[in-house]
Amino acid sequence: MIVTGGASGIGLATAKRLGSEGARVVLADFNQANLDKAVPEVRAAGAPDVLPSLCNVADEAQVAATVQATLDKFGRLDVVVNNAGLMQFKPLEELTGADWLRILNVDLLGAFYFTKQAFLHMKPGGAVVNVASIHAIATEALVAPYAAAKAAMLSLTRSAAIEGGPKGIRSNAVLPGAVDTPMLWDNPNVKSGVEKINPSDVGKPEDIAAAIAYLASDDAAFVQGTELRVDGGRLDHL
């Protein structure tokens, strides 16, 4: 399996969870220092083999190279978890086209490039899991490109479910709420109090990893194109 953004947070928890269940894991991330730290952690969690792959998911050639390295080492690709993500905080009147493209290239096109590779190389029974966000459904000020990219990721999931079905490849999305990772606490909206986080609404990376593990597994053999909200009920509050 390949997990993008696998060197930190939800991606690392997912790599450990699937590794503990016997998956041979490829960690695709563009942060070499975090990759170096993550590899022994994933091994210690029980993964039989771990391949770190320095990869910027926004670069199609690097994505293709990561998939080729996976096939060269493990001979197959069963699961892709599109988890790498990035946020930027600016009011609409200050955002530039370049800002939008930077976010869309990582949060949307990165998932597309890996889905394309999955469709080229996966055998029937394969699964793609996209890590979107509750921002795909309800959002706040200053994160327009991120919210748009995550909403579009749900549309990509639907398209991939439709086109992947006949190939025996399932595509589904997880929509995390607030999760205790560096991305949450680095969020200026959270730091400033504009986005209020009730401690009971904060989940653990392992909570999201469990949902991803389910969607990637044969237990979800009849689950195709679904959007699984994993937010402790946060979106339901008045």
Ligand X SMILES: NC(=O)c1ccc[n+]([C@@H]2O[C@H](COP(=O)([O-])OP(=O)(O)OC[C@H]3O[C@@H](n4cnc5c(N)ncnc54)[C@H](O)[C@@H]3O)[C@@H](O)[C@H]2O)c1
Q: Which residues are catalytic?
A: 146
Q: Which among 108, 104, 116, 109 is positioned nearest to 132, based on CA atoms?
A: 108
Residue 31 in tokens: 């942060």
Decide if residue 66 touches ligand X (CB under 6 A): no
Decide if residue 5 touches ligand X (CB under 6 A): yes
State which of residues 1, 18, 34, 229 lies at the interface with ligand X (CB under 6 A): 34
Decide if residue 95 touches ligand X (CB under 6 A): no
Helix (H) or strand (E) holding 188: helix 188-192
Q: Which of 83, 171 has the CB closer to ligand X?
A: 83
- Check: CB of residue 180 under 8 Å from CB of residue 207: no
Measured CA to CA, the distance from residue 236 to residue 238 in angstroms comes to 7
Identify which range of 9-17, 42-50, 136-144, 216-224 contacts ligand X by CB under 6 A. Answer: 9-17
* Count of residues of this chain found to bind ligand X when the rule CB under 6 A is applied: 29
184-203: which residues touch ligand X (CB under 6 A)?
184
Q: Which of 78, 180 has the CB closer to ligand X?
A: 180
Measured CA to CA, the distance from residue 230 to residue 214 in angstroms comes to 12
Identify which range of 16-24, 51-59, 156-164, 210-218 contacts ligand X by CB under 6 A. Answer: 51-59
Measured CA to CA, the distance from residue 49 to residue 70 in angstroms comes to 11
What is the b/e burial string over 61-91, where b = at least 16 CB atoms within 10 angstroms of the residue's CB?
ebbbebbebbeeebeebbbbbbbbbbbeeee
Q: Which among 10, 101, 1 is positioned nearest to 53, based on CA atoms?
A: 1
Decide if residue 178 touches ligand X (CB under 6 A): yes
Identify which range of 26-34, 93-101, 116-124, 216-224 contacts ligand X by CB under 6 A. Answer: 26-34
- Check: CB of residue 135 under 8 Å from CB of residue 178: no
What is the b/e burial string over 198-218, where b = at least 16 CB atoms within 10 angstroms of the residue's CB?
eeeebbebebbbebbbebbee
**Measured from the CB of residue 68, what is the shortest distance to ligand X in angstroms?**
17
**Measured from the CB of residue 228, what is the shortest distance to ligand X in angstroms?**
12
Decide if residue 86 touches ligand X (CB under 6 A): yes
State which of residues 182, 192, 198, 235 lies at the interface with ligand X (CB under 6 A): 182
Q: Which of 56, 226 has the CB closer to ligand X?
A: 56
Binding site for ligand X (CB under 6 A): 4-5, 7-11, 29-31, 34, 55-58, 83-86, 106, 131, 133, 176, 178-179, 181-184
